[in-house]
Structure formats: C-alpha cells, structure tokens
Amino acid sequence: LPLVRFTLNSILVVLLAVPITLVTGSWAGLGMAQLPRRAQRRWIVLSLAVLMVPGIALWTSRFFLYKQLGLLNSIWALILPAFMGSSPFYVLMFYRAFRRIPLAIFEAALLDGASVLQTWWRVALPMARPTSIGVALLSLVLYWGDFMTPLLYLQSEKYYTLPVGLQSLQQLSKSDWGLMMAAAVWATLLPVTLFILAQPFLSRR
C-alpha cells in the first residue's frame, strides 16, 4: 500500500535525522557555552541572523549542492540539514541549557579522567534532559511534517514521505474525503502520541 510505504519513509527520515540533530545541536550548544562571554554574544547574534533567513532563499542553492553531491532523489537529501543541527534555534536551546550548568562540573569531570565526549555524554546531556527531549520533539515534528523539502528534491514516488504522499493521494482521489481524513489522522498520530508520552519528562528539572 502506498500509505504504508510513505509512512515507513517518514519513520526512516525521523529515525536518522532526530538523533543526528541531537548530537550536532548539543555539540554546538556545548561549545558555545564554553566560549568567553564576548564570543558567546557573537555566536548568538550570528545564530539569530541565520534564523531570520527565510527557507525559500536556500532552496535553489541547496538544489544545486545536492545535485553536485549526488543526493537528489534520495532520503539523504532530507536528512543532510540534521548534520548542521537542523536549526540554529535548537543550538540556542542547548546553549541556554548548558550555560546554566556550572563550569566547575565540567572541569571536575575532565580532572577525573573523562574525555570530552564522555563529559558530553555522561555529564552535559543528562543535566539537559528536558531540553534534549524538547529538541527531539521539535525536530521530529519538523522532519515528520516537512512538505517542501521532499517535494523539491525527490522525483521518485518510492522515496516520498507522508506529507507529499498525502498530496499525491489527494490528486488521485479528490472526491474520497473519508480516505483523506483517515490519512490525515494517521499522519498526526505519531507526533501527538509522542508528545503526550514525553510530557512528564518535559516538566522535570
């Protein structure tokens, strides 16, 4: 069934993009938090400036970049932004969380023999768990509901994700409103369920 294939493609994108976003976003946020105050302010301004750039301004340049890399019409065209933290907003969220952790805690972990990666994994991430869950949910919604990216960079229907797949179903069955409503409920089921399950963890400090 096409709907099952579209759903599996969306799940694959989310399973790859969300963990990559958490890793790269938290690394960037932790690095920002360790910088001197003046450098922190510069990176904050730069991140806010990047946030103000509309996504439509990047479509053409990304298309040619993906074409040069041979990523057009592949799932990797949808996942590549995750390697850059997906959004500066997520980096700023992690920066804000890590900045609240005293620097002495990181220094003590390093003095105890922990490597930088061990300090990130065993100290930083556990202390920023609500932020990590929040970023995971936001990036899940971002990649799960993304319509324009697969529409622009995917040509083969076998790679379509759920939003583009629903659009194609609408064009094939314009009068079948029962099918469309059922598909729409199906598309919103996963993010809503995960948000409800994550609610207790978001309120923890």
CB 3, CB 183: distance < 8 Å: yes
Q: State the Cα–Cα distance between residues 190 and 107, nearest whole angstrom.
A: 40
User: H-type helices in 145-204, by residue range?
Assistant: 148-153, 162-172, 177-202
9-23, 75-89, 164-178: segment of lowest average pLDDT? 164-178
Domain count, the chain: 1
Question: How far is the CA of 140 from the CAs of 52, 145, 188, in angstroms?
Answer: 21, 8, 12
Is the model more confident about 182 or about 35? 35
Q: Which pLDDT value is given to residue 205?
A: 53
Q: State the Cα–Cα distance between residues 190 and 154, nearest whole angstrom.
A: 23
Q: Which pLDDT value is given to residue 45?
A: 94
Q: Crossing angle of helices 88-99/2-33, nearest 10°? A: 50
Polymer length in residues for the chain:
205
Direct distance between the N- and C-terminal alpha carbons of the chain, in angstroms, rounded to an integer: 44
- Its pTM stands at 0.87
Q: Which pLDDT value is given to residue 165?
A: 82
What does the pLDDT look like over 48-88, one tens digit per residue?
Answer: 998 888 888 888 888 899 999 888 889 999 999 898 877 89
Q: Which pLDDT value is given to residue 176?
A: 66
Confidence class of residue 1 from pLDDT cuts 50, 70 and 90?
low
Residue 131 token pair:
């932020």
Q: Measured at the alpha carbon of residue 26, what is the angle toward residues 22 and 30, in degrees to the nearest 5?
A: 175
Q: Which pLDDT value is given to residue 100?
A: 92
Q: Which pLDDT value is given to residue 175?
A: 60
Confidence class of residue 204 from pLDDT cuts 50, 70 and 90?
low
Q: State the Cα–Cα distance between residues 191 and 172, nearest whole angstrom.
A: 26
Range of the domain at 46: 2-202
65-74, 139-148, 163-172: segment of lowest average pLDDT? 163-172
Confidence class of residue 131 from pLDDT cuts 50, 70 and 90?
very high
CATH assignment of the domain containing 90 = 1.10.3720.10
Confidence class of residue 43 from pLDDT cuts 50, 70 and 90?
very high
| Number of other residues whose CB lies within 10 A of the CB of residue 100 | 11
Q: Which pLDDT value is given to residue 167?
A: 79
Is the model more confident about 5 or about 85? 5
Most confident range (mean pLDDT) of 59-63, 135-139, 169-173 is 135-139
Q: Is the pLDDT of residue 155 over 60?
A: yes
Q: Is the pLDDT of residue 154 over 70?
A: yes
- 3-state secondary structure (DSSP) of residue 55: helix
Q: Which helix (H) or strand (E) holds 111?
A: helix 103-111
Q: Residue with structure tokens 């948000």?
A: 195
